[in-house]
Amino acid sequence: NQGTTASNLTNETTDDDDDFAIFQFSLKDLVNAGELQYTDKKMKDIANDLMKKFKGEFNRSFQLLIFGAIQPMMYLLKREQNLSDFLEPLKSLFSKESNNPCISQRWLIDVMMINSNRFLCRRLTFLLSKRNPVPMIQPSTNTINKKYRFVSSIIHVWDFSRPILLSFGVGKCKGKTPLVNALFETNFEQSMNSKYFRETIDVDFGYHFVERRSVNVADVHGDLSIETLKRICQLFNGFLVHVQSTYLTSNTSDVIQFLRPLSHPSYILLLIRDLDDEDDEEIQTAITSIRSACSNCQIFFLPNVADKNTYVNKEKIEQLREQIFLDAVKFSHSNEQNIQKHFEQLMDTDQCRNAEQDKVFIDSIRPILIHGKEDDYPLYSLFTRMCDIRHKLAKMDPYNADFQDTKLYALHSELFQISEELEKQQRAGFQATGQAFQRFFQLIQNKEDQLNNLNLLSIELKHERDKKISSVDSTTSFYQQLSLEIHWRNAMISSKSISEPERRILIDAYHNYIDEGNPFEIVDGDNFEIQGEFLTEVMHLFHKKKFFVMSIIGPQNSGKSTLLNFLFGTLFEVREGRCTRGVYGTLVKIRSEAVTHDLIPPDYDYILLIDTEDLFSIEKSDEQYDKRLILFCLAISHLVIVNISGEIHYTLIQMLILCIQSLNYLGETRVTRPTVHFVLNEKADLNKAICEKLFRILRDILIANGLNNLIDLGPNNFHVLSTAFNRKPFLDPHGECAAISTDINFVTDVQKLCKLFVDSSFQIIRDTGDRFSIPTKWIEFANSVLQIIKKYPDLTYFKDIFEREQNNKIRQDIRNDFEQILSPTQAQLLIDREKHNSISHIQDSFQIEQEKILNELESKLEQKIVKYAVSENVRQRSFRFMRVQVASRFRSWEVSAIMAGEQDKLNKMVDDSDAELRQLAYDTTGKTYFTDKASAMEKFEMMWKNQFSCVQVKFDSETQWKQSIDLVCQLYDVLDQYALPSLDNVLAYLPFLMTLDNLDQLSKISTECISKASNINPLVPHSTNTVYTICFSDLQKPYTFLNNDALLAIYCGDKNSRTRTRSTCRLGVREDFSQEMNSNWRTTVRVSHCFELLIGRIKEIYQLKISDDEFSTEIILLQDILGTVDKLIQDVNQEL
């Protein structure tokens, strides 16, 4: 492995003599830090609790106090908050205690970093940079060999796009940090009597600006030596050098010594502080000397500005800021490679070794895992092509498509071919998986290194995507925008090609990745698929655990991810534009400490937080897709948060109501009565009147349409939040700019909201039952929900519930008209009238009749549309529906007429053959000699062969089968498509179907099906982790598809069936019956009987329809067969 080694798991800054380098924090600690423990506390309360605990100990442990402070610090960092909100109260309380060392924010951050593995260190540095200064130089832990310690994780947040100025003082210069804070809107910690404020440096990158500040700044604490300055000056684009006027005049040469090493060209501004007279002769002399030694040094005179709030001082600071920002940006050209080299020079041996190992590792995977080619991903490439075709087929309007179109047939044919090729490649073994999977699999084989390697890969992939984000769009190929999610998808698809031990490694690795606290993909946003089989196996590793599922939906940039981050400290990415793609989950572990605080009911182990892709996304702009996301979340969640930014979003409300109604059509495949909460955020006015208004609107609509029992929505389920961030305008001469800070009221209100959600979860999970809480069951039923949503486009098609009701009324009227005008009697008259004509004549005649009837039906439809005052959307859809249905029925009748004509030809052939036979017999017997039997048979056989060859040439069996298959698979709203396999699957059997010629073939089909089904355990889909106790009375019921004798044999043992009673049961069998039944499924389940019943019922349908002179392509026949199949499936499943 060329990745990280075991020794690299710890941060390189540890030291044996450091009493505080004793723990090892990982990402899991960050994810769990403080969650569900501070829901009713403010930061000051947490600081008070820490101090009370510290003071209450007999032997006060300063070490435990410091580590106790790290948890709330991590809690704040996850929410991108300023650490001073917690640390200032803590420092104040601690300072009141005598004989205590001085604590500072810089020290606590360092302790946290020292005790974190280096990948967590990198993540913490990233979170720090959002609202807090980032440490760059810290005190050395080894005072003998080094004067300072470089914090290497700062490299990963360094901003190369903007100039960074280093602010430092020469000589005694008080008030430097407050001045920098005022100039740049930063919050550098002010100096204290501590080694952490002796020649140390922090950097503020301005990531807390919503429109970025054009110049960034680094602040030096304490006196900076010339040696250190020489080593670090190449990293900065400019310098703010503070010097007291009195020090300057008496130590001009010392000041010049500090200015000379500064690189040229660089921006250098000498701030002469506390100056009363700018024309002072000594000052001017010093300035002349400085300019002769450093020609590019600018001078700014600054009076005493200790009080930053006076008008004069404010004006002077603004003047200084304007000069800095106007001039410094001219020096913003940074050579990233040169800066990286200077970083390396600052690193110690361990840091250099780690950096080199990382570089070697990244270089080794770059050609395939970062800059991959399509050939490296053979299975995933086939998968994406397959999904793309499915998407094209789904996009085809079923009410405006020509199902005899060669393009549609070609798509289905291509879909089947790709599906077959994918399955073939998956069976071909490890070598067929491609280089990308094989290299990815190497990264995760060593358990100690897998998370580190995945972290490195993820970071580098994100870096590459950020570089080309402007050139990526919906047409960009997957291998040109690789992500860790794509590599995991490829791994899941490739997992079917590897051995079981290798597959276990892959499953364990993904479980570790999820359990570490990383967000994981549930629904692939690019292909709208769930890797259900793989995820189910992963969820098996959460044995005996339960989930409480909470999801959040809302429009783009409504703050969904921000709200989840503040609620539970999730690490969902937050940025402008589309953040989350598809559906992601994060597990929040319910810790025992939280239970003891009576905050969490001990009825589940994890909260599964689900974040969805933004609704009304500008990039995707797909209303149908949005409705699918809403319906999916409603169906699979215990609790759904609808997040709305600003005013009531009426379009979202309409979509939500429609999807609530669609829950009816999902049947049992959904969470029973999910709880829905509305959060209206970014409200300046927190008046609850808007909540009451929204509740009344929703309640009235739900009650009016009989939907009020489908969800749990009460008046207390509506919440108003203020804006999450305060915006403070910042005067930047290069454009509009503003610093943002977290609003404390928002934080407090969100904490209360979190407690409300958690407190209500106990009753919710008790009402819904274990089926939706057991991880394996949940992922299986989530997959079922997604497949149903994809299969039935009408679930999410309509604009709102009223359109659906209008559509249903119109649709029923159309069916009623069809029964009158397109009756089987009418069909038979047309078939009998045209069956003797040529195929072209039949087609022309049916086309004329079709247009005539269609005009009549459309006239009736127009009257109904006016009567019901339907929307334009329903109007167009109804006309398309009617035209397709009429065309489909006429095609059915047309095929029936052609087949009837062929039947007549066969009948005529029989009559003609009979006449020929009679003539041959007459000619033969009328001669003076007799023909021998063999010669007569030969003549007769030749005559039959010629007749059948003639019929075979004229009758195109393949075309007739294709037409029939198309008819069955494409007639929407007429046939029960749920019982049907897809068209591409049926067409695969076309060669076999063409060999069928009579009812006896059904028995052959039955035999083949029984043979294949004998190797498939039908009990697997019905298995459960729940233990049920079987009763003897359960086995006395007469079963159709289960073997009663076999069931009793399991219960009672191998005793004679006549002596089996309630008291003869085997010890322990009542509790283990399900497991024993599953082990003996071949004898307990009557597989062959299922098919025998099915074939028998289909035979009855055929014989009944044929005796009624109805042809096998008639719609009624197809409906009856499909109904029979579906009924049998339901009966079997019910009994199992």
Q: What is the 3-state secondary structure (H, E, C) of 163-192?
A: CEEEEEECCCCCCHHHHHHHHHCCCCCCCC
Partners of 608 in the beta sheet? 549, 587
- Asked if 159-347 and 531-793 have one fold, the answer is yes
- The residues of the chain scoring below 50 in pLDDT are 1-18, 402-404, 574-579, 593-601, 971-979, 1024-1027, 1110-1113
Q: Which fold has domain 159-347?
A: Rossmann fold (3.40.50)
Range list of β-strands (E), 353-448:
none
pLDDT of residue 1060: 52
Are 681 and 724 in contact by the 8 Å Cβ rule? The answer is: yes
CATH class held by domain 531-793: alpha beta
Tell me, letter by letter, the H, E, C secondary structure of 82-134: CCHHHHHHHHHHHHCCCCCCCCCHHHHHHHHHHCECHHHHHHHHHHHHHHCCE
In the chain, the percentage of residues whose pLDDT exceeds 90 is: 34
pLDDT (0 to 100) of residue 20: 56
By the 8 A CB rule, do 654 and 640 touch?
no
The pLDDT assigned to 1110 comes to 46
pLDDT of residue 14: 37
Q: Cis ω on the peptide bond leading into residue 265 (within 30° of 0)?
A: yes
DSSP state of 926: T
pLDDT digits (tens, 9 = 90+) for 541-590: 998 899 999 999 998 877 788 888 899 988 766 443 334 678 999 998 88
Q: How far apart are CA 11 and CA 20, in angstroms?
A: 13
- Percentages helix, strand, coil for the chain (3-state, rounded to 5) are 60, 10, 30
pLDDT at 1020: 58
pLDDT score of 361: 92
**Burial class of residue 545, CB neighbours in 10 A (0-12, 13-18, 19+):** middle
Instruction: Domain ranges for the chain, please list them.
Output: 1-154, 159-347, 349-377+434-518, 531-793, 801-955, 1010-1135
Q: Give phi and psi for 581, each to the nearest 5.
A: -115, 125
Give 24-87 as a 3 state SS string: CECHHHHHHCCCCCCCCCCHHHHHHHHHHHHHHCCCCCHHHHHHHHHHHHHHHHHCCCCCHHHH
The reported pLDDT for the residue numbered 1068 is 57
pLDDT at position 253 = 93
- Alpha-carbon separation of residue 942 from 105, 149, 632 (angstroms): 104, 102, 66
Instruction: Provide the pLDDT for residue 941.
Output: 77
CA 860 to chain centre: 47
Written as six digits, the tokens of 237 are 């684009």
